[in-house]
């Protein structure tokens, strides 16, 4: 089903209105209400909601392509304002939404299910599960389906999305804060950390990482996707797994230090380059992404050939497209039915991968 921005806005607004009401009424959601909450898909790719939308005259500032979302955006702001206790709280909600718009792209359920199912199929036991960027809980839903009863700890920084996550999953521990706020007591605690982590070159305020003697830790605070990998590696136990869908920037970036640190502390289990249309139906974006799975293995003595490739980023001399030597060595790990040179969402040279069977075809390749 093609991405429908207006329907996504309407679904999001109804879910937000309900989450606020549940908070005021101090009660759990009914099954019917859970269905409304579960339709929340975040605002990744809907930058227009950050435009001025306080009065009708503001519509003149909007582009024609976004005008159909003007009235819903007015309604969205009014709901958030009416449920905010003061202007300061309203500003906090809007600032939180701004970050979400730029970094949150929700993963299609079949893709998440394929990952969780493959873990179960391989006999991986999960008693303690970490979701460091949970959104409304697609990964939580899937892993609890395959691993019922697993102790689950989820982080969601966006204030509004966090409310929806908590309302949908009252049985788990939900932290409405950034992953950097995880307590040190959780170092080495979890069996698996799995998520679609934030996209974008956003810095993370983590004083311990920023002042580390290790260059990889210092560098990771400059790009949130790199930070999540190292922080999650700290959080899982020896032999535990970190499985993240991440921006291609993790594997394509010119600096090798974060990748070197990862394979120094973990074994590379798998790396798959996903099609750019993975998120098209769910979030209306064609962001390039990779699924990277690592197993914590401290004190390892040597790197495998796969891991040596993983460390090395490359740039095509003719097209100027960045890539990673791992995918040059293992082209079968690039999931696509078509590839062509184009530009990414930031206008930089990129190979655009697509799959003609959509999400269903992508999910089958992930199993």
In order along its 367 residues, the chain shows pLDDT tens digits of 445 889 989 999 999 999 999 999 999 999 999 999 999 988 876 888 889 998 889 999 999 999 999 999 999 999 999 999 999 999 999 888 877 776 656 778 889 999 999 999 999 999 999 999 998 899 999 999 999 999 999 999 989 999 999 999 999 999 999 999 999 999 999 999 999 998 777 899 999 999 999 999 999 999 999 999 999 999 999 999 999 999 999 999 999 999 999 999 999 999 999 988 776 554 445 668 999 999 999 999 999 999 999 999 999 999 999 999 999 999 999 998 898 888 877 778 888 888 887 666 665 665 5
Q: Tokens for 182?
A: 């995880």
**Same domain (yes/no): 84, 118:** no
pTM, two decimals, is 0.91
Examine residue 104 and state whether it is found in any structural domain, yes or no. Answer: no
pLDDT score of 251? 97
**Same domain (yes/no): 66, 33:** yes
Residue 113: phi and psi, rounded to 5, are -60, -35
Examine residue 68 and state whether it is found in any structural domain, yes or no. Answer: yes
Q: What is the DSSP letter of 41?
A: -
End position of a domain, from candidates 59, 79, 99: 99
End position of a domain, from candidates 74, 99, 124: 99
Containing structural domain, residue 71:
5-99
**Same domain (yes/no): 120, 44:** no
Q: No. of H helices and E strands in the chain?
A: 16, 11
End position of a domain, from candidates 55, 70, 99: 99
**Same domain (yes/no): 136, 250:** yes
**Same domain (yes/no): 216, 279:** yes
Q: Is the dihedral of CA 288, 293, 296, 301 positive or negative?
A: negative
- CA separation for the pair 354, 365 (Å, rounded): 13
**Same domain (yes/no): 68, 131:** no
Label residue 135 left, alpha or beta by phi (over 0 means left) and psi (-120 to 50 means alpha). Answer: left
Q: Report the SS3 class of residue 238.
A: strand
Examine residue 160 and state whether it is found in any structural domain, yes or no. Answer: yes
- CA separation for the pair 58, 72 (Å, rounded): 13
pLDDT score of 118? 95
What is the domain count for the chain? Answer: 2
Q: Tokens for 329?
A: 């060595």
pLDDT score of 95? 86
**Same domain (yes/no): 159, 255:** yes
């Amino acid at each position: 089903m093609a991405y429908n921005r207006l329907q996504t806005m309407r679904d999001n607004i109804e879910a937000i209105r309900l989450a606020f009401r549940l908070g005021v009424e101090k009660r759990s959601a009914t099954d019917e209400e859970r269905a409304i909450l579960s339709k929340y898909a975040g605002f990744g790719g809907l930058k227009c909601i950050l435009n001025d939308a306080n009065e009708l005259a503001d519509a003149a500032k909007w582009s024609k392509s976004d005008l159909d979302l003007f009235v819903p955006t007015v309604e969205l702001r009014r709901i958030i304002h009416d449920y905010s206790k003061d202007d300061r709280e309203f500003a906090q909600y809007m600032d939180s939404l701004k970050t979400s718009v730029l970094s949150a792209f929700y993963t299609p359920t079949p893709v998440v299910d394929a990952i969780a199912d493959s873990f179960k199929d391989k006999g991986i036991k999960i008693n303690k599960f970490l979701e460091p960027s949970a959104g409304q809980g697609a990964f939580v839903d899937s892993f609890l389906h395959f691993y019922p009863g697993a102790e689950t700890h989820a982080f969601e920084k966006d204030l509004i999305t966090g409310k929806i996550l908590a309302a949908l999953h009252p049985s788990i521990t939900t932290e409405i804060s950034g992953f950097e706020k995880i307590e040190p007591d959780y170092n080495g605690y979890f069996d698996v950390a799995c998520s679609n982590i934030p996209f974008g070159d956003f810095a993370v305020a983590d004083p311990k990482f920023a002042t580390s003697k290790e260059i990889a830790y210092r560098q990771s605070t400059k790009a949130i996707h790199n930070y999540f990998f190292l922080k999650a590696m700290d959080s899982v136990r020896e032999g535990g797994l970190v499985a993240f869908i991440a921006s291609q920037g993790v594997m394509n970036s010119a600096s090798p230090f974060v990748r070197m640190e990862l394979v120094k502390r973990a074994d590379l289990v798998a790396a798959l380059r996903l099609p750019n249309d993975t998120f098209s139906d769910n979030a209306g974006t064609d962001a390039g992404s990779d699924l990277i799975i690592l197993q914590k293995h401290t004190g390892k003595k040597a790197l495998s050939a796969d891991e040596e490739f993983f460390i090395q980023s490359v740039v095509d001399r003719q097209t100027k497209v960045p890539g990673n030597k791992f995918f040059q060595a293992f082209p079968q790990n690039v999931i696509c039915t078509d590839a062509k040179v184009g530009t990414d969402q930031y206008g930089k040279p990129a190979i655009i991968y697509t799959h003609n069977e959509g999400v269903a075809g992508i999910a089958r390749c992930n199993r």
